[in-house]
Amino acid sequence: MPRFEIVTHVVAPPDRVFDISLDVGVHTASMAGSSEEAVGGVTAGGLKLGESVTWRARHFGVRWRMTSVISVYDRPGYFVDEQVSGPFGHWHHAHCFQPDGRGGTVMSDVVDFAAPFGFLGTLAEVLALGRYMPRLIRIRNDYVKRVAEAAFPAG
């Protein structure tokens, strides 16, 4: 099962970065390249513990639906979203927000996932998903960073 971690430094306090990371509209805007939209559950505003959202997006030229739930919520330090239905055999995404000691945040994303379909899924992980999924998280994090830092300019 693939696992990766993406670390992003954000010049904004952890509570702001945490809240922005849970905002459905921010996520949708960050994934505009894949036409991602919220079509069920919480479709606007921030997600909380136990709430779910169903996403519809286009990846690899195919329309996908994925419903995820916020299974752990400890503001402003940590939350987890997990797939409850969708294209993955397994999806677990832990989001951590640690103060950097200078008023900013070290945002860490740890993602464990698995494609379905046994050997064919493993092949897809090796040939495509192992590079594609970290790239998507980096795109998302770059957008979260821009939004969070917009209210906290350097200097």
Which residues, at least 6 apart from 98, have a Cβ–Cβ distance to it below 8 Å? 14, 77, 105, 106, 108
**Helix (H) or strand (E) segment spanning residue 29:** helix 24-30
Residue ranges of the domains in the chain?
Answer: 3-150
Q: Give the DSSP letter string of 97-147.
A: EEE-SSS-EEEEEEEEEE-SSHHHHHHHIIIIIHHHHHHHHHHHHHHHHHH
Q: What is the CA 45 to chain-centroid distance, rounded?
A: 15
Residues 130/106, Cβ–Cβ less than 8 Å: no
pTM of the model: 0.91
Residue 142 in tokens: 């770059």
pLDDT tens, 24-82?
A: 999 999 999 888 999 999 999 999 999 999 999 987 788 999 999 999 999 999 999 99
pLDDT at 42: 97
Express each pLDDT in 97-144 by its tens digit.
Answer: 999 999 999 999 999 988 876 766 565 656 666 787 899 999 999 999
Residues in contact with 142: Cβ distance below 8 Å, sequence separation at least 6, in sequence order: 8, 30
3-150 placed in CATH 1.10.3720.10: no
